[in-house]
Amino acid sequence: MVEIGHTCLTDRRGFHLPRMTDTEWREFLIAGTRTGKLATTRLDGRPHVMPIWFVLDGDDLLFNTGAETLKGRSLRRTGWASLCVDDPSPPYSFVTVSGPVTISTDLDEMLPWATRIAERYMGAERAEEFGRRNAVEGQLLVRLRAEHVLAMSRVAD
Amino acid sequence: MVEIGHTCLTDRRGFHLPRMTDTEWREFLIAGTRTGKLATTRLDGRPHVMPIWFVLDGDDLLFNTGAETLKGRSLRRTGWASLCVDDPSPPYSFVTVSGPVTISTDLDEMLPWATRIAERYMGAERAEEFGRRNAVEGQLLVRLRAEHVLAMSRVAD
Protein backbone atom coordinates (compact mmCIF):
# COMPACT_ATOMS: atom_id res chain seq x y z
CA MET A 1 0.00 0.00 0.00
CA VAL A 2 1.49 3.28 -1.08
CA GLU A 3 0.91 6.01 1.49
CA ILE A 4 2.27 9.48 0.91
CA GLY A 5 1.16 11.36 4.04
CA HIS A 6 -0.21 14.87 4.20
CA THR A 7 1.70 16.52 1.40
CA CYS A 8 0.96 18.48 -1.71
CA LEU A 9 1.22 17.39 -5.31
CA THR A 10 2.04 20.20 -7.73
CA ASP A 11 0.49 19.77 -11.14
CA ARG A 12 2.11 20.75 -14.43
CA ARG A 13 0.60 24.23 -14.25
CA GLY A 14 1.99 24.89 -10.77
CA PHE A 15 -1.27 24.40 -8.85
CA HIS A 16 -1.00 22.71 -5.49
CA LEU A 17 -3.27 19.74 -4.88
CA PRO A 18 -3.40 18.62 -1.25
CA ARG A 19 -3.15 14.88 -0.73
CA MET A 20 -5.32 13.18 1.86
CA THR A 21 -3.69 11.33 4.74
CA ASP A 22 -4.19 7.61 5.25
CA THR A 23 -6.99 8.29 7.74
CA GLU A 24 -8.61 10.85 5.47
CA TRP A 25 -8.88 8.66 2.37
CA ARG A 26 -10.30 5.77 4.35
CA GLU A 27 -12.95 8.02 5.88
CA PHE A 28 -13.65 9.49 2.46
CA LEU A 29 -14.22 6.04 0.91
CA ILE A 30 -16.64 4.86 3.57
CA ALA A 31 -18.68 8.08 3.95
CA GLY A 32 -22.40 7.67 3.27
CA THR A 33 -23.47 5.89 0.11
CA ARG A 34 -20.58 7.00 -2.09
CA THR A 35 -20.23 4.44 -4.86
CA GLY A 36 -17.04 3.23 -6.51
CA LYS A 37 -16.59 3.61 -10.24
CA LEU A 38 -14.81 0.40 -11.15
CA ALA A 39 -12.55 0.45 -14.21
CA THR A 40 -11.43 -2.76 -15.85
CA THR A 41 -9.80 -3.64 -19.16
CA ARG A 42 -11.83 -5.58 -21.72
CA LEU A 43 -10.46 -8.48 -23.72
CA ASP A 44 -9.92 -6.17 -26.72
CA GLY A 45 -8.01 -3.65 -24.57
CA ARG A 46 -10.75 -1.04 -24.30
CA PRO A 47 -11.61 0.35 -20.87
CA HIS A 48 -14.87 -0.39 -19.10
CA VAL A 49 -16.30 1.54 -16.13
CA MET A 50 -19.37 0.87 -13.98
CA PRO A 51 -20.57 1.96 -10.54
CA ILE A 52 -20.39 -0.57 -7.72
CA TRP A 53 -21.30 -0.80 -4.04
CA PHE A 54 -18.37 -1.64 -1.74
CA VAL A 55 -17.16 -1.72 1.84
CA LEU A 56 -13.66 -1.39 3.27
CA ASP A 57 -11.87 -4.15 5.18
CA GLY A 58 -8.44 -2.90 6.23
CA ASP A 59 -6.66 -2.06 2.96
CA ASP A 60 -9.14 -4.06 0.87
CA LEU A 61 -12.29 -2.94 -0.91
CA LEU A 62 -14.94 -5.67 -1.10
CA PHE A 63 -17.74 -5.83 -3.63
CA ASN A 64 -19.99 -8.24 -5.50
CA THR A 65 -20.45 -8.63 -9.21
CA GLY A 66 -21.78 -11.25 -11.57
CA ALA A 67 -19.23 -13.76 -12.85
CA GLU A 68 -20.49 -13.37 -16.41
CA THR A 69 -20.90 -9.59 -16.47
CA LEU A 70 -18.34 -7.67 -18.49
CA LYS A 71 -16.56 -6.50 -15.34
CA GLY A 72 -16.75 -9.97 -13.78
CA ARG A 73 -15.12 -11.54 -16.82
CA SER A 74 -12.49 -8.78 -17.04
CA LEU A 75 -11.59 -9.10 -13.35
CA ARG A 76 -11.26 -12.88 -13.61
CA ARG A 77 -9.05 -12.59 -16.69
CA THR A 78 -6.78 -9.70 -15.61
CA GLY A 79 -6.79 -9.90 -11.81
CA TRP A 80 -6.51 -6.12 -11.60
CA ALA A 81 -8.81 -3.11 -11.16
CA SER A 82 -8.86 0.62 -10.56
CA LEU A 83 -11.67 2.28 -8.63
CA CYS A 84 -12.57 5.94 -8.22
CA VAL A 85 -14.71 7.60 -5.55
CA ASP A 86 -15.29 11.32 -5.68
CA ASP A 87 -17.17 14.21 -4.14
CA PRO A 88 -18.78 15.93 -7.15
CA SER A 89 -19.25 19.34 -5.53
CA PRO A 90 -16.91 22.30 -5.02
CA PRO A 91 -14.08 22.26 -4.13
CA TYR A 92 -14.01 18.62 -5.42
CA SER A 93 -12.08 15.73 -3.90
CA PHE A 94 -11.40 12.19 -5.05
CA VAL A 95 -9.71 8.92 -4.23
CA THR A 96 -8.54 6.42 -6.86
CA VAL A 97 -7.43 3.02 -5.64
CA SER A 98 -5.69 0.47 -7.89
CA GLY A 99 -4.46 -3.02 -7.23
CA PRO A 100 -4.80 -6.76 -7.65
CA VAL A 101 -8.10 -8.52 -7.00
CA THR A 102 -8.80 -11.89 -5.45
CA ILE A 103 -12.10 -13.57 -6.16
CA SER A 104 -14.25 -15.94 -4.16
CA THR A 105 -17.36 -17.87 -5.17
CA ASP A 106 -17.93 -19.35 -1.69
CA LEU A 107 -21.50 -18.39 -0.80
CA ASP A 108 -20.91 -18.83 2.94
CA GLU A 109 -18.11 -16.26 2.74
CA MET A 110 -20.10 -14.06 0.35
CA LEU A 111 -23.35 -13.69 2.31
CA PRO A 112 -22.06 -11.71 5.32
CA TRP A 113 -20.15 -9.33 3.02
CA ALA A 114 -23.08 -8.90 0.64
CA THR A 115 -25.25 -8.09 3.67
CA ARG A 116 -22.77 -5.51 5.00
CA ILE A 117 -22.52 -3.94 1.56
CA ALA A 118 -26.33 -3.85 1.26
CA GLU A 119 -26.61 -2.28 4.71
CA ARG A 120 -24.33 0.56 3.66
CA TYR A 121 -26.28 1.37 0.50
CA MET A 122 -29.87 0.33 1.31
CA GLY A 123 -29.98 0.73 5.09
CA ALA A 124 -30.27 -1.81 7.92
CA GLU A 125 -33.91 -2.61 7.17
CA ARG A 126 -33.23 -3.89 3.66
CA ALA A 127 -29.72 -5.30 4.27
CA GLU A 128 -30.79 -8.92 4.58
CA GLU A 129 -33.05 -8.77 1.52
CA PHE A 130 -30.33 -7.31 -0.71
CA GLY A 131 -27.58 -9.40 0.88
CA ARG A 132 -29.46 -12.58 -0.04
CA ARG A 133 -30.14 -11.25 -3.52
CA ASN A 134 -26.43 -10.63 -4.12
CA ALA A 135 -24.91 -13.75 -2.53
CA VAL A 136 -26.13 -16.36 -4.97
CA GLU A 137 -24.70 -18.81 -7.49
CA GLY A 138 -23.13 -16.91 -10.40
CA GLN A 139 -22.03 -13.98 -8.23
CA LEU A 140 -18.48 -13.18 -7.19
CA LEU A 141 -17.07 -11.69 -3.99
CA VAL A 142 -14.18 -9.50 -5.15
CA ARG A 143 -11.44 -8.20 -2.87
CA LEU A 144 -9.46 -5.30 -4.36
CA ARG A 145 -6.22 -4.52 -2.53
CA ALA A 146 -5.47 -0.79 -2.28
CA GLU A 147 -1.92 -1.17 -3.53
CA HIS A 148 -1.81 2.29 -5.13
CA VAL A 149 -3.83 5.16 -3.68
CA LEU A 150 -4.16 8.63 -5.19
CA ALA A 151 -6.24 10.78 -2.84
CA MET A 152 -6.59 14.50 -3.48
CA SER A 153 -8.75 16.93 -1.58
CA ARG A 154 -10.05 20.34 -2.58
CA VAL A 155 -8.75 20.05 -6.14
CA ALA A 156 -10.41 23.29 -7.30
CA ASP A 157 -9.48 25.49 -4.34
CA MET B 1 -24.93 6.39 -31.19
CA VAL B 2 -26.77 3.39 -29.82
CA GLU B 3 -30.19 4.31 -28.44
CA ILE B 4 -32.43 1.65 -27.01
CA GLY B 5 -35.53 3.63 -25.96
CA HIS B 6 -37.50 3.24 -22.76
CA THR B 7 -37.18 -0.47 -22.17
CA CYS B 8 -36.06 -2.79 -19.42
CA LEU B 9 -32.92 -4.84 -19.21
CA THR B 10 -33.29 -8.06 -17.22
CA ASP B 11 -30.15 -9.08 -15.35
CA ARG B 12 -28.98 -12.65 -14.84
CA ARG B 13 -30.93 -12.95 -11.60
CA GLY B 14 -34.20 -11.88 -13.22
CA PHE B 15 -34.27 -8.32 -11.85
CA HIS B 16 -35.60 -5.64 -14.17
CA LEU B 17 -33.43 -2.59 -14.69
CA PRO B 18 -35.21 0.28 -16.44
CA ARG B 19 -33.21 1.95 -19.18
CA MET B 20 -33.28 5.72 -19.56
CA THR B 21 -34.57 7.24 -22.75
CA ASP B 22 -32.36 9.39 -24.95
CA THR B 23 -33.74 12.55 -23.34
CA GLU B 24 -33.33 11.13 -19.84
CA TRP B 25 -29.67 10.18 -20.11
CA ARG B 26 -28.75 13.54 -21.60
CA GLU B 27 -30.51 15.36 -18.76
CA PHE B 28 -28.87 13.03 -16.27
CA LEU B 29 -25.39 13.78 -17.62
CA ILE B 30 -25.78 17.55 -17.49
CA ALA B 31 -27.55 17.83 -14.14
CA GLY B 32 -25.73 19.96 -11.57
CA THR B 33 -22.03 19.37 -10.99
CA ARG B 34 -22.05 15.63 -11.62
CA THR B 35 -18.55 14.64 -12.65
CA GLY B 36 -17.52 11.98 -15.15
CA LYS B 37 -15.29 9.14 -14.06
CA LEU B 38 -13.07 8.67 -17.09
CA ALA B 39 -11.63 5.21 -17.70
CA THR B 40 -8.70 4.70 -20.04
CA THR B 41 -6.29 1.86 -20.71
CA ARG B 42 -2.65 2.31 -19.75
CA LEU B 43 0.25 1.28 -21.96
CA ASP B 44 0.68 -1.93 -19.92
CA GLY B 45 -3.02 -2.79 -20.30
CA ARG B 46 -4.10 -1.89 -16.80
CA PRO B 47 -7.18 0.34 -16.36
CA HIS B 48 -6.99 3.92 -15.10
CA VAL B 49 -9.90 5.98 -13.77
CA MET B 50 -10.08 9.64 -12.72
CA PRO B 51 -12.86 12.19 -12.25
CA ILE B 52 -13.23 14.90 -14.88
CA TRP B 53 -15.41 17.94 -15.54
CA PHE B 54 -17.31 17.86 -18.83
CA VAL B 55 -20.13 19.41 -20.84
CA LEU B 56 -22.35 17.93 -23.50
CA ASP B 57 -22.41 19.08 -27.13
CA GLY B 58 -24.96 17.01 -29.04
CA ASP B 59 -23.73 13.42 -28.73
CA ASP B 60 -20.25 14.49 -27.65
CA LEU B 61 -18.81 14.95 -24.17
CA LEU B 62 -16.12 17.64 -24.02
CA PHE B 63 -13.43 17.91 -21.37
CA ASN B 64 -9.91 19.15 -20.78
CA THR B 65 -6.92 17.21 -19.56
CA GLY B 66 -3.15 17.61 -19.57
CA ALA B 67 -1.38 16.12 -22.60
CA GLU B 68 1.23 14.49 -20.36
CA THR B 69 -1.07 13.19 -17.62
CA LEU B 70 -1.65 9.46 -17.54
CA LYS B 71 -5.14 9.87 -19.01
CA GLY B 72 -3.91 12.38 -21.60
CA ARG B 73 -1.24 9.99 -22.82
CA SER B 74 -3.64 7.03 -22.81
CA LEU B 75 -6.28 8.95 -24.78
CA ARG B 76 -3.72 10.08 -27.37
CA ARG B 77 -2.41 6.54 -27.79
CA THR B 78 -5.70 4.59 -27.83
CA GLY B 79 -8.23 7.12 -29.14
CA TRP B 80 -10.93 5.57 -26.96
CA ALA B 81 -12.52 6.16 -23.55
CA SER B 82 -15.36 5.08 -21.31
CA LEU B 83 -16.97 7.49 -18.87
CA CYS B 84 -19.39 6.87 -16.00
CA VAL B 85 -21.71 9.34 -14.27
CA ASP B 86 -23.89 8.13 -11.42
CA ASP B 87 -26.30 9.19 -8.73
CA PRO B 88 -24.85 7.61 -5.56
CA SER B 89 -28.06 7.60 -3.54
CA PRO B 90 -31.05 5.23 -3.43
CA PRO B 91 -32.46 3.95 -5.72
CA TYR B 92 -29.22 4.55 -7.71
CA SER B 93 -28.93 5.41 -11.40
CA PHE B 94 -26.03 5.65 -13.77
CA VAL B 95 -24.95 6.38 -17.33
CA THR B 96 -21.83 4.93 -18.94
CA VAL B 97 -20.78 6.35 -22.29
CA SER B 98 -18.06 4.79 -24.44
CA GLY B 99 -16.59 5.80 -27.74
CA PRO B 100 -13.77 7.26 -29.77
CA VAL B 101 -12.11 10.53 -28.81
CA THR B 102 -10.81 13.33 -30.97
CA ILE B 103 -8.26 15.69 -29.52
CA SER B 104 -7.50 19.35 -30.16
CA THR B 105 -4.63 21.50 -28.91
CA ASP B 106 -5.94 24.70 -30.54
CA LEU B 107 -6.15 27.21 -27.70
CA ASP B 108 -8.66 29.41 -29.55
CA GLU B 109 -10.99 26.42 -29.80
CA MET B 110 -10.17 25.31 -26.25
CA LEU B 111 -10.84 28.54 -24.35
CA PRO B 112 -14.62 28.84 -24.91
CA TRP B 113 -15.13 25.16 -24.00
CA ALA B 114 -12.88 25.37 -20.94
CA THR B 115 -14.89 28.41 -19.84
CA ARG B 116 -18.23 26.62 -20.33
CA ILE B 117 -16.92 23.62 -18.42
CA ALA B 118 -15.67 25.88 -15.61
CA GLU B 119 -19.02 27.65 -15.46
CA ARG B 120 -20.80 24.34 -14.91
CA TYR B 121 -18.55 23.27 -12.06
CA MET B 122 -17.40 26.52 -10.45
CA GLY B 123 -20.27 28.88 -11.29
CA ALA B 124 -20.52 31.89 -13.59
CA GLU B 125 -18.42 34.12 -11.32
CA ARG B 126 -15.32 31.93 -11.53
CA ALA B 127 -15.85 30.60 -15.08
CA GLU B 128 -13.38 32.93 -16.76
CA GLU B 129 -10.68 32.36 -14.13
CA PHE B 130 -10.87 28.58 -14.41
CA GLY B 131 -11.43 28.66 -18.16
CA ARG B 132 -8.16 30.56 -18.61
CA ARG B 133 -6.37 28.24 -16.21
CA ASN B 134 -7.45 25.19 -18.21
CA ALA B 135 -6.97 26.47 -21.78
CA VAL B 136 -3.20 26.73 -21.85
CA GLU B 137 -0.26 25.17 -23.65
CA GLY B 138 0.09 21.51 -22.64
CA GLN B 139 -3.65 21.02 -22.20
CA LEU B 140 -5.94 19.06 -24.50
CA LEU B 141 -9.55 19.58 -25.52
CA VAL B 142 -11.01 16.10 -25.77
CA ARG B 143 -14.26 15.24 -27.55
CA LEU B 144 -15.68 11.83 -26.61
CA ARG B 145 -18.40 10.58 -28.94
CA ALA B 146 -21.22 8.75 -27.14
CA GLU B 147 -21.13 5.78 -29.48
CA HIS B 148 -22.30 3.30 -26.84
CA VAL B 149 -24.61 4.41 -24.05
CA LEU B 150 -25.72 2.25 -21.11
CA ALA B 151 -28.15 4.26 -19.00
CA MET B 152 -30.03 2.59 -16.15
CA SER B 153 -32.33 4.26 -13.68
CA ARG B 154 -33.47 3.07 -10.25
CA VAL B 155 -31.17 0.06 -10.24
CA ALA B 156 -31.98 -0.90 -6.64
CA ASP B 157 -35.75 -0.49 -6.80
Look at residue B60 in the predicted model and tell me its pLDDT. 98
Contacts of B124 (CB under 8 A, 6+ apart): none
Residue type, A93: S
With a cut of 50, say whether residue A4 has pLDDT above it.
Answer: no
Q: Do B84 and A37 touch (CB under 8 A)?
A: yes
Look at residue A17 in the predicted model and tell me its pLDDT. 78
Higher pLDDT, B84 or B155: B84
Look at residue B15 in the predicted model and tell me its pLDDT. 73
ipTM over 0.90: yes
The proportion of chain A whose per-residue pLDDT surpasses 90, expressed as a percent, equals 86
Whole-model pTM?
0.93
Contacts of B51 in chain A (CB under 8 A): 84, 86, 88, 92, 94
CATH hierarchy code of domain A8-152: 2.30.110.10
* CA B101 to mean position of chain CA atoms: 11
The confidence band for B2, taking pLDDT boundaries of 50, 70 and 90, is very low
- What DSSP letter does each residue of B75-119 carry, written as one string? HHHH-EEEEEEEE-STT-EEEEEEEEEEEE--HHHHHHHHHHHHH
Higher pLDDT, B126 or A154: B126
Contacts of A146 in chain B (CB under 8 A): none
Q: Is some CB atom of chain A closer than 8 A to the CB atom of B78?
A: yes
